[in-house]
Amino acid sequence: MSTEKPSSPYLNLYLGDLKEPWEAYCAARKLKPGAAIRTAIEQQLKAAAKADPKKPASSVQPVQAEQRRRYEITLTDSEKAAIAARLDGKRTMRDWIASAIRGALTNEPQFGAAEQATLAESNYQLQAVGRNLNQIARRLNERKSADFPAKRVADIEKIIKAHTKAAADAMRAAVERWPLV
């Protein structure tokens, strides 16, 4: 039996201390408070529909390596110092800047060496847990055990595999500079 409430076209809104000034505002303009809120929501939705937000680029695995082009930028001394302070000792300033640009263009994380190592270790551990769960599920299925549903273990294994793949894809996107589309 589902515990979700059926969808309602009504919105319950707690205004707290704002209720009295809101009612006074609406009364001065001969508006019903609910109708004024509905009008404000309609205006926001209309404005959001008109605004054409740029869709982030996404990285795709290339058929062939994309040629890199040199591009020069100038930085202030403070910008250069701020970047240098963020370097992890394994990336160059050029790599850091390219990662920052890719991160801004794709809204995908760009990992440094320390983060890559942490994610790799996380995936290794999750894969070991997944193998153990698979062995447990196999044993439970052999015994037809009713006290612990094997389907639950299979569901957990699917979640772990999905996490492992997502983390691996994120790591790959940070390492391999694939073309943006």
Domain annotation covers residue 36: no
Domain annotation covers residue 23: no
The 10s digit of each residue's pLDDT in 13-47 is 888 888 899 899 999 999 898 888 888 888 888 88
Domain annotation covers residue 63: no
Total domains, the chain: 1
Domain annotation covers residue 93: yes
Task: Give dist(CA 59, CA 180) in Å, integer.
Answer: 5
User: Burial letters for 139-177: b for 16+ Cβ neighbours within 10 Å, e otherwise?
Assistant: ebeeeeeeeeebeebeeebeebeeebeebeebbebbeeb
The 10s digit of each residue's pLDDT in 99-145 is 888 888 877 777 777 777 878 888 888 888 888 888 877 777 777 65
Domain annotation covers residue 4: no
Domain annotation covers residue 15: no
Residue 94 lies in domain: 77-175
Task: Give dist(CA 123, CA 106) in Å, integer.
Answer: 23
Domain annotation covers residue 51: no
Q: Is the pTM of this model over 0.75?
A: no
Domain annotation covers residue 140: yes
